Structure formats: C-alpha cells, structure tokens
Amino acid sequence: MSAGIRSRGARFLRARWPVVVRLACWSVLETGQTFLTGYAPARALDEGFLAGRAGAGLAWLGVAGIGVVLGAYGTARVYAAVAALVEPLRDRLVQGVVRRGVREADRGALSGLTQQVEIARDTFAGLVMVSRSFVFTAAGALVGLFSLAPLLLLVVGPPLVAGVALFAATLRPLARRQEAFLVADEALADRLGTVCPGLRDVTATGAEEQIAADTGRLVDAEFGAARSLARWSVLRVASLAVGGQLPLVLLLAAAPWLLARGVTTGALVGALAYVTQSLLPALHNLVHGLGTSGSRLTVVLRRLTSAGTDDTPGEATSPEREPAARRPEGAAPQTATAAPPALSLSGVTFAYGPASAPVVEEFDLVLPPGSHLAVVGPSGIGKSTLTALVAGLLRPAKGRIEVCGEPVPSPAAAARRVLIPQEAYVFTGTVADNLGHFRADPVPEAELLAAAEAVGMGPLLERLGGPDAVVDPAALSAGERQLVALTRAYLSYAPLALLDEATCHLDPRTEERAERAFAARPGGTLVVVAHRISSARRADRVLVMDGTGTACGTHGELLDVSPLYRDLVGSWTPVPAPRSEPALALRDADGVDAVARPGLTGDGRHVVAHRPVGQVQASGDLGDGGSFRRQG
C-alpha cells in the first residue's frame, strides 16, 4: 500500500476515532468469548466430569454459554460501528469519482462509479471485520493456551506465525495482479461503451468482424489477468494449511509428549477447541477476506484517488468545487485586450461510432467573453452533443476546444464552465447546500437570496421555507428543480454557462428572466440550446445547425440568409386561431336571426351574416353560388 493511501487512511480513521474506540470496546467481548471457548471446557473436564463432580463441570459449561451470549451481543454492536466507518468512505469515493469524471472527462469514471466504489465499500467493510476478528480472536486463544499450559504455545504458535507470514508475503503480488485485472476491466468497459451505441452502424457498414476482433482482444486480456490472479490465490490455500491445519495435526501428534509433561487431558481438549473453533476459522476469514479484500482495496483506492488529492464531493453535470487558490476569477470583469476567448472550437469533428456519420465536422467557433449565443436546429441534429463536447463529457475525434484559454478536457477548463442539463439534479439537503454546491465555502445568505431573486427562484425559495429548509427532490416539479439547478450554476465561479434546454420546463417569462440573469453576469458568457424563438431573439448571435453545414449571425441576418432558420422561426411562432362568432346576437333588433327557422333556406341549423348590418344578402346570393337545399 502506497504511503499516500496509508496517510489518507490514517487521517480518515483519526477523524472518526470515537467510532474506532467503540469498535475496539465491543470487540473485547469477542476476546472473552474466545478465551472461554477453550478454557471453560478444559476446566469442566479436569475439575468436573473427570473428577466426578458433574455439577462443577456443568457450571463451567454454563460459563462458556454466557460467554457465547455476550460475544453475540458484542458482534451485533460491532456491525453498527463498522457501518459508521464504511458508509462515509463510500459517499466520499462516489463524490470524488463523479467530480473527476466531469472535470477530466475520465473514461474510467463509469467503471469507477458502478464497480470500483462498490468494491471499495464491500472490501473495506470486509477488511475491518476480518482483521479485527483475527486480532481479538487470536489474542483470546493465545492467552487461553498460555493459561492452560505454556507448552501448548510451543506447538500451536510457530506454525500459526509461519502461515500468517506466508500469507502476508503474497499480498503485494496479489495487489499488482488485481490492478492489472481492473485496468483490463476498464479498457473493456470503455470499448463496450463505444461499440454498444453504434451496433446499428457496425452492422450497416459490415464491420462486425473487425469490431469483434478488437473487442475479443480486450476480453482475452481481462481473462488472462483473471487467470493470473487466480494462480496467485493458490498460495492463500497453502498459508491456511500451514497456519490453521498444521497446528491441529501437531497437537494430535504431540499429545503423548504433552501428557507426559503434565499437560492435562482437559487442557489438551481445550487446545484442540482453540485451534478448531477459534484460530482456524479466524485465519480462514483473514486469508480469504484480507487476501481478496485487502489487495482489491489497495488497488481500488489507488485508482480512485490517483487523479485527485482531495475528497471534496462534486456533481456529474457541472464543474467541481475548487480550492480557493485554484478558483477561476470568472466573477470579476475581464479586460477585452488581455482575456482569451471565452470559448474556442477549431476543426472539431465528432462521431458516435467509427463508421458513423460525423455529428460535428470541421467545426470552428470563437466566442469572446460576455457573448450570448443561442444554438438552434432540428431535434437530434447535435446541439446537445456540441455542449457535451464543450463541457468535456465527450472527446472529439480531432480538433481543439478551449474554454477561457484552457484545453478541454482539463481540470482548469472544467472549473471555468458550468453545464445545466435538461434533467436538473437536486439532492436531499438544505436549500443552501443545494444552491452552494459549487462553492468551496458557505455562500453568504444575502448573496444566495440575491441570486435566487435574479434567476427567478424567489417565490420557490419563500415557499420552501428559506435557505435552511430541507429539500425533498421528489416533492419538486421538473420546473422547480430546474430553478434550483440554474441558481446553483449562477452562484458558481464558472464564467461560461451552458444551458442545454435547461429552461424547457419553465414558463416563457421565467425563462426570459433566467437567461437575462446569466447574460448579465459580470464577465459571463452564455450558450443556450434554444427551444423557443424568444431565446434566439434575446441572444446576441444565433448558431443554426442543420447537419450539412452551419450558419451564425443575428436573428435578422439569419432570417435573410438561412431557409432552415426561417422554417424554425415559422414552426416556433404560433398562428393565432381565427375568431368565429355570429355577426349579430340572437334575435337581433334588426330582425336577422342567427339561427334558421323552419322554412328558411340553408343547412337547417345556422345562417351567419358575412356583411355589415343592412347588407345581408338574399339566400340565393350566399357564398356557395346557388340556393341552399335543406339537409336531412
């Protein structure tokens, strides 16, 4: 285990020293139970049944039973203490994986989140349980052997120490092979994440054999790593045989020698009980638990923490909270002469599969700080793909993307942009915790209230009960969750805001208020994937994506030069429904009935005047060019 992981582990345990002390205290009951497992039966034989005193023998067995009850009670409390150590570790690892995945677009984040974090959780719990159990069980058994007869330690002790030493020698090779297995697993998961969404394209282009061969090599690599790991696991069986089963053989073989030197029959039976009921199970759990859990935990923690040095939690759709020294100065006005472009894409090409048509091809775009760009286009044309590329969630096949002069993906670029997706994320906690999630320090209440008012969350904040109220995500509507996410992003220090239909569940007035608030942030740049024509009208410039090319300009310019944009504007602009109402009220004073009476020509239902009062035509002159016939 590396020094860095050891130091972090020591800090983690020191911060939770009351839990560690409670765990040790409850484990002492197991030591007493182990001691009585061999000592009480030995005394029951020597001082009770073999001496003709059945009452004394039964009394000693009763003492052993009490020890079992106390040990079971202690074990139940041990599980609660272990949970208090394990769950905080899992939460911090999940937050770290999500944070690094967003900040660096780490391809191993999926395997880390779905597999490695759970491995760390389970193995850490197993490590604590088996190591604690072995230490306290071995202590109780060795003290019991010495209490019965010191000679018993000469028979049991050396093979036990040899078995533990052999097992310890295999931990480092096992850890290396466990890491090789996880690397192979990540490579295979990454490959499948690329291939599976493009299976239709693979079939359409006839690339099945090539894709199968490439994927097969990764499967073989993982299989080979698993076999190597299994071979080294054989040594665990050898260490278990030496440390746990050899003492039993030696006790039986040395029984005449021990009895000749004053070891009583009860003491020999007690020693056998210590080996079979305590030491052998404890060593078995240590070898199979620590042998797997220990090596896996070392490797997984190294991989989960290798790309970061802190445990600060983050979120999957937005940049992480940075230490103050690394915080971008996005909230301060930037000088136009010295500041790099807020966003720059040069020759960017991206496709979802090797044989798929590019979604973005040779794409160039430069946005100066303070810009407000709306991205429009038909559904599925690549608008969200573009924002994901800018955010670093997708990697282009070629080309370069920079955010405020920092290359994407990189931690510096991730700290300078905030992505608000259509499905907003809200977690259980206070309103202040949700809104200040991207800030390293607590947000002052005045600043929080001002941000909520600027974005349009003021009424919701008041209804929830203020910043200290607890939020239940399930009780919020989709629009309310979007307001929380927008205010959270507004409070971040990231100068570039990417709204990927992040206001689609809001009414037009609230949407306008939120967009204007982001556009007015000092030094801020706003990119909006628009779903209403009003968003495009508010933007300084509009980017039209149509798959075969792009057009960029103001709203008025694009109406002149882009047929697609004119079509989109037409489809977005509602056509007012014509008003249909009688020209005259029923039984009008001028004597014209809006409802036909029997005997009138027409449809037998309605006659509607279509000229001013006094100019009503006769039935033969109505608009169908002929006389009406009564409809049956």
The one-letter code for the residue type at 19 is V
Q: Given this model, what pLDDT does residue 305 score?
A: 55
Q: Please tell me the least confidently modeled range out of 284-293, 304-313, 552-561.
A: 304-313
State pLDDT tens for residues 16-61.
Answer: 778 788 888 888 877 788 888 888 898 888 888 888 888 888 998 8
Burial of 526 (0-12, 13-18, 19+ CB in 10 A): buried
Question: Which token pair is 410?
Answer: 């990189």
Q: b or e along 448-462 (b: 16 or more beta carbons within 10 Å of the residue's beta carbon)?
A: bbebbebbbbbebbe
Q: Please tell me the least confidently modeled range out of 138-142, 452-456, 538-542, 572-576.
A: 572-576
State pLDDT tens for residues 517-563.
Answer: 888 888 789 999 987 888 888 888 999 888 767 888 888 888 888 88
Q: For residues 174 and 152, what is the distance between their CA atoms, to the nearest angstrom?
A: 34
Q: Given this model, what pLDDT does residue 343 score?
A: 92
Same domain, 413 and 511: yes
What are the DSSP calls for 195-237, one per residue? HGGGHHHHHHHT-HHHHHHHHHHHHHHHHHHHHHHHHHHHHHH
Percentage of the residues of the chain whose pLDDT score is greater than 90: 11
Q: For residues 624 and 620, what is the distance between their CA atoms, to the nearest angstrom?
A: 9
Tell me the pLDDT band of 337, cut-offs 50, 70 and 90.
very low
Average of pLDDT values for 134-153?
88
Average of pLDDT values for 602-623?
37
State pLDDT tens for residues 448-506.
Answer: 999 999 999 999 999 999 989 998 888 899 889 999 999 999 998 889 999 988 888 88
Same domain, 389 and 508: yes
Q: Domain residues for 177?
A: 9-305
Q: Tell me, yes or no, whether 316 lies in a domain.
A: no
Same domain, 291 and 368: no
Q: Tell me, yes or no, whether 330 lies in a domain.
A: no
Mean pLDDT computed over every residue of the chain: 76
Same domain, 362 and 288: no
Q: Tell me, yes or no, whether 25 lies in a domain.
A: yes
Q: For residues 36 and 58, what is the distance between their CA atoms, to the nearest angstrom?
A: 14
Average of pLDDT values for 387-403?
90
Same domain, 276 and 196: yes
Q: How many domains does the chain have?
A: 3
State pLDDT tens for residues 224-279.
Answer: 888 887 877 777 788 888 888 899 899 999 999 999 988 999 999 999 998 998 88
Tell me the pLDDT band of 108, cut-offs 50, 70 and 90.
very low
Same domain, 483 and 594: no
Q: Given this model, what pLDDT does residue 402 score?
A: 92
Q: Given this model, what pLDDT does residue 303 score?
A: 55
* Beta partners for residue 595, in sequence order: 606
Same domain, 347 and 289: no
At which of 305, 332, 367 does a domain end? 305
Q: Is the pLDDT of residue 145 over 80?
A: yes
Average of pLDDT values for 134-157?
89
3-state secondary structure 4-41: HHHHHHHHHHHHCHHHHHHHHHHHHHHHHHHHHHHHHH
Q: Please tell me the least confidently modeled range out of 6-10, 289-293, 565-569, 582-586.
A: 582-586
Q: Given this model, what pLDDT does residue 527 score?
A: 92
Q: Given this model, what pLDDT does residue 304 score?
A: 54
State pLDDT tens for residues 51-105.
Answer: 888 888 899 889 888 888 888 887 777 877 777 777 776 666 666 655 555 444 4
Q: Tell me, yes or no, whether 494 lies in a domain.
A: yes
Same domain, 380 and 232: no
Average of pLDDT values for 336-341?
66
Same domain, 213 and 347: no
Q: Tell me, yes or no, whether 313 lies in a domain.
A: no
Counting every residue written for the chain, the total comes to 632
Q: Given this model, what pLDDT does residue 32 score?
A: 81
Q: Given this model, what pLDDT does residue 183 score?
A: 78
State pLDDT tens for residues 213-226.
Answer: 888 888 998 898 88
Same domain, 371 and 276: no
**CA-based torsion, 434, 435, 436, 439: positive or negative:** positive
Same domain, 281 and 419: no
Tell me the pLDDT band of 574, cut-offs 50, 70 and 90.
low
Considering only CA atoms, which of 305, 294, 304, 299 is closest in space to residue 129? 294
Q: Given this model, what pLDDT does residue 292 score?
A: 58
Q: Report the CATH number at residue 90.
A: 1.20.1560.10
Who wins on pLDDT, 308 or 297?
297
Q: Given this model, what pLDDT does residue 610 score?
A: 38
Tell me the pLDDT band of 614, cut-offs 50, 70 and 90.
very low
CA 184 from chain centre, in angstroms, equals: 22
Q: Tell me, yes or no, whether 94 lies in a domain.
A: yes
Average of pLDDT values for 296-315?
48
Same domain, 252 and 381: no
Query: Residues 553, 561: contact at Cβ < 8 Å?
Result: yes
Tell me the pLDDT band of 344, cut-offs 50, 70 and 90.
very high
Who wins on pLDDT, 320 or 490?
490
At which of 546, 572, 598 does a domain end? 572
Q: Given this model, what pLDDT does residue 119 score?
A: 65
Considering only CA atoms, which of 102, 119, 597 is closest in space to residue 392? 102
Instruction: Give pTM, 2 decimals.
Output: 0.44
Q: Tell me, yes or no, whether 301 lies in a domain.
A: yes
The one-letter code for the residue type at 120 is A
Percentage of the residues of the chain whose pLDDT score is greater than 70: 74
- Say what angle helices 117-148 and 291-305 make with each other, to 10 degrees: 140
Q: For residues 419 and 448, what is the distance between their CA atoms, to the nearest angstrom?
A: 19
Query: Residues 432, 467: contact at Cβ < 8 Å?
Result: yes
Q: Given this model, what pLDDT does residue 315 score?
A: 37
Average of pLDDT values for 346-364?
85
Average of pLDDT values for 324-347?
58
Q: Tell me, yes or no, whether 336 lies in a domain.
A: no
